[in-house]
Structure 1
Amino acid sequence: MSPDQLDDLLLKGIEAAEKGYIHSAQVFLGQVSEHRNTPELQSYLAYCLAKGQGRIHSATKICRESIKHEPNNSLHYLILGRILLLSGDKSKAIKTFRQGLIASPNPLIIDEFKKLGLRKPPVFKSLKRNHPINRALGKIFGTLGLR
């Protein structure tokens, strides 16, 4: 298979995974993995493994290995965060997404945060979120663009 064909299959596999067509993504990515092995490919295969077969533990292990190989690639953090969301561990997923944004800006991670509907931390962490001081200062800072 030529490199152009492999690149085309890889793009089709990634697109299918992003759209939620997990079986199609597994087929495309599996064909590519027979000829090349990259951390990006392994991460997407791990996502398909978690979402399609429910093998969360194996998928997280694969993604963590990909992160070790490419720690500055936010794509791996995105996929690991998605896998953690599938497992129901929202707090670890949020931490992983934040690590991904630190590694490099990724609009897909920002989209995941929007889907989650995350709130900003309270102004004073020692007070409850709904305390009048936190609410008032949060609104003021938000209006001023400081949050």
Structure 2
Amino acid sequence: MSERLQPGEPAPAFTLPDADGNPVSLADYAGRKVIVYFYPAAMTPGCTKQACDFTDSLDLLSAAGYDVVGVSPDAPAKLAKFRSKENLKVTLVGDPEKRVLQEYGAFGEKTMYGRKITGVIRSTVIVDEQGRVERALYNVRATGHVAKLIKDLGI
């Protein structure tokens, strides 16, 4: 089980390939707030709903100073297909080795349909302009999460 991040601690640095295979690093967002959200798999119903909600709210989040990066264990080719199929505007990066997922506490034991399994824990980490964890939310729901996040952030 990976450790969950706590507010105030440095967010783990990462560089992962985006849907086009280009490297995306947390350092690319220095000086801006970034919402890093972790989801189990591209092109599944809940993950699609969440990605579409972030895309639909991207202008609002951007205007409030937030960038959005979605992280899943998917390969860039699958992310590209997902982005194209759903017309997504958020940056999607893949972590097939699940290293970043583990560093962020977004991979481990969870309960699904009453059974304990090991997998991606749907999570959202808000990183401030200095690269520190502002909020770390675990076991979030796919539906309604973005609206709740916007409300909680006062946007």
Fold match by TM threshold 0.5 = no
TM-score by length of 2: 0.23
* Structure index of larger Rg: 1
TM-score by length of 1: 0.24
**More contact order relative to length (CA 8 Å, sep ≥ 6):** 2
Between Structure 1 and Structure 2, the one with more strand by share is 2
Between Structure 1 and Structure 2, the one with more helix by share is 1
